[in-house]
Amino acid sequence: MSARMLDGTAVGLAIRTELRPAVEAFTATLGRPPGLGIVLVGNDAGSELYVGSKLKSAAESGLRADLTRLPATASLGEVIAAVERLNASDVHDAILVQSPLPAALGAEAERHVVDHIAVEKDVDGFHPINVGRLVQGHWTLAACTPSGVIELLDRSGIPIVGKHAVVIGRSDIVGKPMALLLLHRHATVTICHSKTVDLPAVARQADILVAAIGRPAFVTPAYVKPGATVIDVGTSRVGDRALVESIFPAGSKRRDAFERRGALTMGDVHPSVEEIAGALTPVPGGVGPLTIAMLLKNTLAAAEQRFVKPATS
Amino acid sequence: MSARMLDGTAVGLAIRTELRPAVEAFTATLGRPPGLGIVLVGNDAGSELYVGSKLKSAAESGLRADLTRLPATASLGEVIAAVERLNASDVHDAILVQSPLPAALGAEAERHVVDHIAVEKDVDGFHPINVGRLVQGHWTLAACTPSGVIELLDRSGIPIVGKHAVVIGRSDIVGKPMALLLLHRHATVTICHSKTVDLPAVARQADILVAAIGRPAFVTPAYVKPGATVIDVGTSRVGDRALVESIFPAGSKRRDAFERRGALTMGDVHPSVEEIAGALTPVPGGVGPLTIAMLLKNTLAAAEQRFVKPATS
């Protein structure tokens, strides 16, 4: 048996296509498109790629997206000042500060910066008030990756109500909001992490298994109940030849790609899980494109919320 | 085998006794005690009892506590105005609005009212920003009942790290913050609810089982792994004779109490669980006294946070 591959690229494109009429209506009404302001500090190669992809996708969807670049030497005050300019901007409805910030800014820098983003423009849903509203079931802006996973499940016809969902990883960005969104959709939810005893046995209970730990090929078939849906949120850049050789046989497509480029993008899920899972997201081409689609959807939602009065309070 | 009874009354008293020196120090420094303002709307009998108990306990611990009473006919605007007077008060460091509000105020009334409580005075930890900080692990004021349960486990020498905790119930007041606090203490956490399939089997995985659903005697031995710690958060006033007779034999103490009073306070856990659990909280005398102790502890924390500069930002 070979798992059904869940095509995040296609679903992401479908979401973005559906946004167009609403983006056009907003633009016609307000005389300007919904606007996203991105703050990028430093020159991390991965961040450059992500930000480039976000800017391109926004433009393709008819949104305005502007990049504020700060040098890696920027102070915390300068980063916050950039956020506050976007808070005050009339043409920016949504703000994101690309993670990670340079380590020199300190471990608490991201939290301080996010706390300064205007709540209604916090398109990543990372501000504590947006996190609190998510917990309480009254949210507009929820973290993009977990809400993208929910969209993927829905659009792939995979039921959530009453299913046992196991989330491996408890980050603020993925694990915890993912667990809350699955809970609100009436899954029974288990959150696992590095302190979990007999993780494979716990994971094997899952009808829906979400791996979000950033450890390449960590989730092997021993973690998967036959027929389960496996969502691979991890994305690691792997340059370790021994690891790649142990996973991809000589002559395989991915091994060849490694030989050409010297590195591979790998998920948290071992490729052999394909033989036991019922459905599986590939890496790349699974969750990644959904995250960007949800960023654009959240940008539109933030813009609409600023200017369109809700029907009920 | 008979479960060890976890004495919430004794632990609650210990917490309150430990508060005394800090309350006295605050009072000596500021020239006034930490102050709690309670808003009570209407005349719900249960609420009257709870509020009376909170006022009495606060006074015993050297705190100031004031009650603002509003009639059951009060408008939402009047309730919010009462909250805003306490927000502006110099002598009140902590505010709580007793739940439930009269049904006539509408389903969203509690949320609207809580959203108006000054974040730093929100002693119940119900404001979305405090909930968000709890999720992110940066909290001062966490919901009193779940944080009381953590204190009880700690002071009873029951380890949490690496244990499987199962929380039955997903309310904003108990279930969700309880799951988050257990997760932050490195338990593997499962949240169950009315849509969970084969709830007894899921609950039987628990090393620590928390029942918070408000259904008397719902959790029977079939839900409990031998030796597990069972925390009973439910509190129901039961007047149903058939139910009481089915649980408590004629001549038993609790049956006699029912015959005298015509009703019993019962938890979510069936008394026969005592024969299989390793440790168990009684109702009454388990979680209830802890909730009040944590309310007083949070009041002091809110007062200190308003006036004492933290050592680090």
The residue whose two tokens read 């730990």 is A213
pLDDT tens-digit readout, A260-294:
999 999 999 999 999 999 999 999 999 999 999 99
Q: Which value, to the nearest 10 degrees, does the dihedral of the CA atoms of residues B8, B11, B14, B18 take?
A: -110
Q: Cα separation of B64 and B35, whole Å?
A: 5
Q: Phi and psi of B219, rounded to 5°?
A: -85, 105
Domains present along chain A, CATH in parentheses = 19-120 (3.40.50.10860), 144-287 (3.40.50.720)
**Token digits for A181?**
């969104």
Query: Considering only alpha carbons, which residue of chain A is nearest residue B110?
Result: A136
B112: closest chain A residue by CA: A313
Average pLDDT score over chain A: 95
Cα-Cα-Cα-Cα torsion A188, A192, A195, A198, nearest 10 degrees, comes to 80
| pLDDT band for position B311 (cuts 50, 70, 90) | very low
A153-208 confidence digits (pLDDT tens) = 999 999 999 999 999 999 999 999 999 999 999 999 999 999 999 999 999 999 99
Contact B188 A176 (CB under 8 A): no
Provide, as residue numbers in chain A, all residues whose Cβ is less than 8 Å from the Cβ of B189: 190-191
The pLDDT of residue A20 is 96
pLDDT in the model for residue A313: 39
CA distance A95 to A178: 21
3-state secondary structure B17-74: HHHHHHHHHHHHHHCCCCEEEEEEECCCHHHHHHHHHHHHHHHHCCCEEEEEEECCCC
Measured between beta carbons, which residues in chain B are less than 8 angstroms from residue A135? 128, 131-132, 135, 172, 176
CB contact under 8 A, B130 and A131: no
- Smallest Cα distance from A191 to chain B, Å: 5
In the predicted model, what is the mean pLDDT of residues A102-107? 94
Model confidence at B258: pLDDT above 90: yes
Residue B120 CB partners (closer than 8 Å, separation 6+)? B302, B305, B306
Residues of B labelled as active-site residues? 54, 98, 124
Kindly list the residues from chain B whose CB atom is less than 8 angstroms away from the CB atom of residue A172: 135-136
Rounded-to-integer distance, Cα A85 and Cα A63, Å: 19
In a 3-state reduction of DSSP, which class is residue B147? Answer: helix
SS (H, E, C) A114-129: HHHCCHHHECCCCCHH
Q: Count the Cβ atoms, other than its own, within 10 Å of residue B153.
A: 24
- Report whether pLDDT(B309) > 60: no
B250-276 average pLDDT score: 95
The verdict on a CB contact (< 8 Å) between B131 and A130 is no
Q: What's the whole-number mean pLDDT along residues A32-37?
A: 98
CB of B175 within 8 A of CB of B149? no
- Asked if B135's CB is within 8 angstroms of A172's CB, the reply is yes
Q: Kindly state the average pLDDT of the residues B111-124.
A: 97
B1 pLDDT higher than 80: no
Residues of B in contact with A163 (CB under 8 A): 197
Cα B292 to Cα B12, B149, B212: the distances in Å are 8, 12, 17
Q: What percentage of chain A exceeds 90 in pLDDT?
A: 95
Tokens standing for residue B264: 């019993």
What are the tens digits of pLDDT across the range B40-72? 999 998 899 999 999 999 999 999 999 999 999
Q: Measured between alpha carbons, how far is A153 from A231 in angstroms, rounded to an integer?
A: 9
The pLDDT score that the predictor gives to residue A312 is 44
Q: Is A181 exposed, middle or buried (0-12, 13-18, 19+ CB in 10 A)?
A: buried
Q: What are residue A192's DSSP bridge partners? A: A168
pLDDT at residue number B313? 39
**A110: DSSP letter:** H
Q: Which structure tokens are listed for A173?
A: 């960005």
Per-residue pLDDT at B140: 81
Q: Which among B127, B135, B202 has the least Cβ separation from residue A131?
A: B135
Q: Which of A7, A93, A122, A124 is catalytic?
A: A124
**Binary contact (A195, B202; C-beta < 8 A):** no
Mean pLDDT of all residues belonging to chain B? 95
User: Quick one: which of B235, B267, B234, B231 has its CA closest to B158?
Assistant: B231
Rounded mean pLDDT of A75-81? 97
Token couple for B146: 């779940």
Contact B188 A180 (CB under 8 A): no
